[in-house]
Structure 1
Amino acid sequence: MTPCCKLHPVALFLVECGQKNGLGHLRRCQVLAHAMQAEGWECSFGISDVAMIDIVCSEGFKAALWVGDGLDLGPADVLLVDGYHYNTRIFSRWKKYTRVSLAVDDLAERPVSAHVILNHNLYGTELDYSNYGAEIVIGGGDYSLVDKKFFAVANSKRPSPLHVLVSFGGMDDGCYSVPVAKRILMESPSAVLEIVIPKIQTPSEGIQDLQRQYGSRVILHHGVDMAEAMGRCSVLAGAAGVTVLEALASGLKLSVCASADNQRINTVALRKLGYTSFDGFDPEAVAKSALTFLKDGDLSVCSVLDGKGPERVISTLVKLLNKYR
């Protein structure tokens, strides 16, 4: 098995994701893969959970189960790996079967020997990757992997400036959303809340109680097209995870908190950039700042994203492919 040398580059994504975790890893890799396809690349996926394969295929990509090093899924011109638990020696084992490798990283805690390290988070340029030995490190807002459909709704006409999107990610059944939503509804008699609960979760009794009490002011989404939802809302009250980048691209005000330990690095970066964020789950603080946005009426957003992140990543890979031709 030798590296590919077709007219169109071949990219293989190995992604750790399942029905209850890693959805953000998959989402950002799909954004990059779609941008690659638009430029003539051939893209396929190795997925760590067989239950997710059909979801990937529905996006128009070939997908198979990723086991071990995934060498049976190659070869490829570019290997891209995204996850927290894979064997870091995977890049060494792929050297004979690929020309360029890229590791998508969030925390700078697991050194790997990939050619390129990509940290697409807002804080991506602030971490120290000197012990990774990568040829190139790219990151920050300029390289953020956000679907262009979010940028497309940034200037859309909202049904009301008082629409608030409440979203706390894949593990929320209402345990995070309800305390925040309840405070906003009590303090703002005109606010309409769109609460997003993932399909993998069963909405809690607390959400049903809110619907009974506040009627049409509580809209429950048990799974939703987030771009469409953000196109209707003006404020995000939620977790400081991957949804934050999508919200910024969509033109939403932020009132977010760390609902998991690995989100705290994001809350610090957001505050440095002037956005409202809190280091722990604090429903009172999240609701209070969201209410301040609603009362002030100033819902303008200065986003640090320009939507060209995927193309910049691709340009970096093309330069390396030409170097190692």
Structure 2
Amino acid sequence: MKLLVRADASVEIGMGHRVRCQALIHAFQALGWQCQFVVDCRYKVFSAPEDCFIGGQPGKASKVEFLSLAKQADLVILDHYDYSADDITQLYQHQKNLLVLDDMNDRGEFPAKWLLNPLQQEYSKLVEFSLTGSRYAILRPAFQHHQDNHKVPEQLLITLGGTDPLALTLPILNTLLASNFPRKNIQVLLGANAKDADQVITCCQDNSIAFAQGLTDVTPLMEQARMAISAAGGTLFELACMGVPTIFAQVADNQTRSLEQHVPLGWCRSLRFDNVAEDIRLQRVELLAAELKRLWLDIEWQQNARKIARSLVDGNGAKRVAETINSYF
């Protein structure tokens, strides 16, 4: 059985679409499927050599080019915000076995065989099977096999996503240092393509702060985290699975719905950075640091937050989705 995954990654798009689709591919491959990413050639730098590239033919748009590829597959997974409801409808006409990954539920009605959203959302009857809620959160295989070691964590994990699109890591670090937060408790995690990574690494080295970049398995660092400061993309579900109380820095509009659903549950807090000017961002970094220092001392809140977070995500979402769809075939 052949599966094509249409997803892109870049500094602007972020790495989250590709990361969660890689987790889905791993789950489908375990069931014997042949899987391949289909990537716009503009984003080749964020791709793999075995990917299929589209958009390179003169006068032929990548979406049109993909339609003919979709016809030849047994299943297509679409994880791409640039596809409107009309685009999805056209794709569905070429390939009925279509799984659409969605977060915002803001594109209007469109048809699909399966719709996956890790949030609780209602979709139209044009979607045949809705896979919604945190039990369908797509995490990498390492989270599926994670076991709590019951140690008391002491680190503050700072991770602003695969690309850190608003370059928030450095100002957050500088603000924490200025506030005398204990540097021995700070662990910085940088994505392989993070903005200002060289400056962040220099800051860490100059201040004896632990850092890592481009890790394929982040679970050991999350195990050591008493709290986290994080972007609110797919990492939100990873941190929930690991039971890490978090202050989320919203760096993209598509993170709105997840924060609207998770912040009221009590295991996390959030501040928004993507819709304000740079000078306002710096003010919000100060607010974030102040909230962190307050919650860092609130052990009772942390204990309750850990229990709530762990109850939400079990790490088996990718396997659950792959088995559900595979049973259809």
TM range (shorter): 0.7 to 0.9
Structure 2 residue 254 is matched with structure 1 residue 254: no
Identity among equivalent pairs (%): 24
TM-score, normalised on structure 1? 0.79
CA distance in structure 2 between the aligned counterparts of 1:182 and 1:246, rounded to whole angstroms: 26
- Report which structure shows greater RCO (CA 8 Å, sep ≥6): 2
Equivalent residue for 1:139, pick from 109, 132, 136? 132
Structure 2 residue 157 is matched with structure 1 residue 165: yes
Query: What's 2:322 paired with?
Result: 314
CA distance in structure 2 between the aligned counterparts of 1:236 and 1:174, rounded to whole angstroms: 18
Structure 2 residue 238 is matched with structure 1 residue 241: no
Equivalent residue for 1:264, pick from 256, 263, 278? 256
Contact map agreement 1:53 1:65 (CA 8 A) in 2:
no
Query: What's 1:68 paired with?
Result: 63
Name the CA shift for 1:134/1:37 in 2 (closer, same or farther; >3 Å).
Answer: same
How far apart are 1:279 and its partner, in Å? Answer: 4.0
Query: What's 1:3 paired with?
Result: none
Structure 2 residue 205 is matched with structure 1 residue 223: no
Query: What's 2:102 paired with?
Result: 105
CA distance in structure 2 between the aligned counterparts of 1:52 and 1:19, rounded to whole angstroms: 12
How far apart are 1:155 and its partner, in Å? Answer: 1.9
Q: Mind listing any 5+ residue stretches in structure 2 that lack a counterpart?
A: 55-61, 274-283
How far apart are 1:52 and its partner, in Å? Answer: 3.9
Name the CA shift for 1:91/1:316 in 2 (closer, same or farther; >3 Å).
Answer: farther
The letter for the 2-side match of 1:76 is A
Secondary structure of the residue that 1:80 maps to in structure 2?
strand
CA distance in structure 1 between the aligned counterparts of 2:167 and 2:92, rounded to whole angstroms: 45
Query: What's 1:36 paired with?
Result: 28
Secondary structure of the residue that 1:11 maps to in structure 2?
strand
Query: What's 2:280 paired with?
Result: none
CA distance in structure 2 between the aligned counterparts of 1:31 and 1:295, rounded to whole angstroms: 36
TM-score, normalised on structure 2? 0.78
Name the CA shift for 1:31/1:205 in 2 (closer, same or farther; >3 Å).
Answer: closer
Secondary structure of the residue that 2:240 maps to in structure 1?
helix
Larger helix share, 1 or 2:
2
Name the CA shift for 1:37/1:103 in 2 (closer, same or farther; >3 Å).
Answer: same
CA RMSD of aligned residues (A): 3.0
CA distance in structure 1 between the aligned counterparts of 2:328 and 2:189, rounded to whole angstroms: 41
- Tell me the alpha carbon deviations over residues 260-316 of structure 1, each in whole angstroms, 9 at most, x when there is no partner: 333232222112221222242332343334334433445541211112212322243
